[in-house]
C-alpha cells in the first residue's frame, strides 16, 4: 500500500503544475512501470513536453529531450564513431538516446531514417554504432509527442511503427477551470523534488506483476483483439468494410499488462472487465487501420474499437 500511496503522491504533485491532463500523467507512470513506450498526440502548447519533463524530475530519472526536425540524422540520435588523431583510433560518441527517459519531441517532423533508428532502440533496448551493439539503461522508455497529421511539415508514422507504442494518448484542450489555474502558476512551483526513484519503480513493477488475472478475463482480452480483425468469427458484421486490418497480438499483451497496473492503482489485487475496457481506446485505437470509406465518413477508430470491445464482454 505504501507504494500505491507514493504513486498517487507523484500524480498529485505533478497536478500542481500540469492542469487538466490527468490521463496523460497516469499513462506516463504506466509506461515507466510496464516499460512500454507512449505516443502523445495533441496540438502545440497543451503541456505535452512539460508533463514528461516534470515526471522525470519527480521519478528521479535521467532525462533527454530530442527535438525532431526534417534535417535530423540517425547519428544525431544514437551517436557515432569519431576518429581521435592523437591516439590514432576510433572512439564511440554516444547520442542523447543513452538515457532512461527519452522525450522524442514532434517525432512526425523527422524523416523515416531517423524514425527507424529510434525504432531499433525501442524494440531491442539496444543501439548499434559502427559494428558494436550497446545496451541501453533500464528502465528505457520513449515518450514521443506528435502534432496532428494535418499540420504542415509532418511525416505520417507507418503502421508498423505505431504498433511499437504501448498506448497512444490524445491530449485535448484543458477545461475552463484548469486553464484558469495555469494563469496563476509561479516559477517557484516549477521546482520539483523527486518522490520516487528507480528502486521504487522496480518494486512497483513486481507488485503489478503479482496482480491476479482470471482465465475469463484473459479470454475476454483475446476476444476483444480478435473482434477487431476483419474475417474473424468475433468481428461484428455491421462494421464490415470499416476496417482493413485489426490489432496485432501486441494489443493483447498491453491490454493484459496495463489492466494489471490499473487494478493496482485502484487498490485491487485482481483485474476486472472495467479495468480492461478503460484502456481499450488508448491501446487499440492506433493499432487498427480504417478503410478509405471509414476515413471519408470520419469514423473515429478509438470510438469504434471501444464499441467493438464492449460488444464481446
In whole angstroms, what is the distance from residue 221 CA to residue 243 CA?
19
pLDDT, position 78: 84
In whole angstroms, what is the distance from residue 263 CA to residue 147 CA?
31
pLDDT, position 194: 82
| Mean pLDDT in residue range 38-57 | 84
In whole angstroms, what is the distance from residue 115 CA to residue 117 CA?
5
Contact 109, 144 (CB under 8 A): no
Which of the 8 DSSP states describes residue 228? T
| Mean pLDDT in residue range 286-307 | 88
In whole angstroms, what is the distance from residue 214 CA to residue 220 CA?
10
From residue 205, how far is each of 115, 135, 187, 300 by CA, in Å? 28, 21, 33, 33
pTM of the complete model: 0.88
Residues 188, 190, 191, CA angle at the centre, nearest 5°?
Answer: 75
The distance of Cα 222 from the centroid of its chain, to the nearest Å, equals 21
Whether pLDDT at 216 is above 90: yes
User: What does the pLDDT look like over 229-285, one tens digit per residue?
Assistant: 998 888 888 888 888 989 999 999 999 999 999 999 888 889 999 999 999 999 998
Which of the 8 DSSP states describes residue 132? E
From residue 182, how far is each of 42, 52, 190 by CA, in Å? 18, 17, 12
User: What does the pLDDT look like over 61-105, one tens digit per residue?
Assistant: 888 888 888 888 888 888 888 877 877 788 778 888 888 888 888
Q: Which domains, and CATH codes, for the chain? A: 2-199 (3.40.50.300), 211-311 (1.10.8.80)
Task: Give me the sheet containing 38-41, strands edge to edge.
Answer: 63-67, 101-105, 141-146, 38-41, 167-170
For the chain, the average pLDDT equals 86
User: What does the pLDDT look like over 160-177, one tens digit per residue?
Assistant: 888 889 999 988 888 888
Amino acid at each position: 500500500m505504501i507504494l500505491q500511496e507514493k504513486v498517487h503522491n507523484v500524480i498529485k504533485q505533478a497536478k500542481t503544475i500540469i492542469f487538466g491532463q490527468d490521463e496523460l500523467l497516469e499513462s506516463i507512470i504506466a509506461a515507466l512501470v510496464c516499460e512500454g513506450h507512449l505516443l502523445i498526440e495533441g496540438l502545440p502548447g497543451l503541456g505535452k513536453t512539460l508533463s514528461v519533463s516534470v515526471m522525470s524530475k519527480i521519478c528521479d530519472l535521467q532525462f533527454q529531450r530530442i527535438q525532431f526536425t526534417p534535417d535530423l540524422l540517425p547519428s544525431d540520435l544514437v551517436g557515432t564513431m569519431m576518429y581521435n588523431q592523437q591516439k590514432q583510433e576510433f572512439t564511440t560518441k554516444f547520442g542523447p538516446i543513452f538515457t532512461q527517459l527519452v522525450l522524442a519531441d514532434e517525432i512526425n517532423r523527422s524523416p523515416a531514417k531517423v524514425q527507424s533508428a529510434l525504432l531499433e532502440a525501442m524494440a531491442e533496448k539496444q543501439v548499434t554504432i559502427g559494428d558494436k551493439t550497446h545496451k541501453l539503461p533500464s528502465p528505457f522508455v520513449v515518450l514521443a509527442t506528435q502534432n496532428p497529421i494535418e499540420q504542415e511539415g509532418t511525416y505520417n508514422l507507418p503502421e508498423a511503427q505505431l504498433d511499437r507504442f504501448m498506448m497512444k494518448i490524445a491530449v485535448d484542450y484543458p477545461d475552463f477551470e484548469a486553464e484558469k489555474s495555469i494563469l496563476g502558476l509561479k516559477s517557484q512551483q516549477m521546482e520539483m523534488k523527486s518522490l520516487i526513484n528507480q528502486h521504487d519503480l522496480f518494486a512497483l513493477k513486481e507488485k503489478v506483476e503479482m496482480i491476479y488475472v482470471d482465465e475469463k478475463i484473459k479470454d475476454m482480452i483475446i476476444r476483444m483483439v480478435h473482434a477487431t480483425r476483419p474475417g474473424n468469427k468475433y468481428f461484428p458484421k455491421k462494421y464490415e468494410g470499416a476496417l482493413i486490418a485489426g490489432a496485432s497480438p501486441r494489443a493483447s499483451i498491453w491490454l493484459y499488462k496495463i489492466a494489471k497496473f490499473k487494478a493496482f492503482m485502484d487498490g485491487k489485487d485482481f483485474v476486472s472487465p472495467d479495468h480492461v475496457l478503460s484502456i481499450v481506446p488508448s491501446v487499440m485505437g492506433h493499432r487498427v487501420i480504417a478503410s478509405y470509406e471509414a476515413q471519408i465518413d470520419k469514423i473515429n477508430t478509438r470510438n469504434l474499437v471501444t464499441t467493438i470491445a464492449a460488444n464481446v464482454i
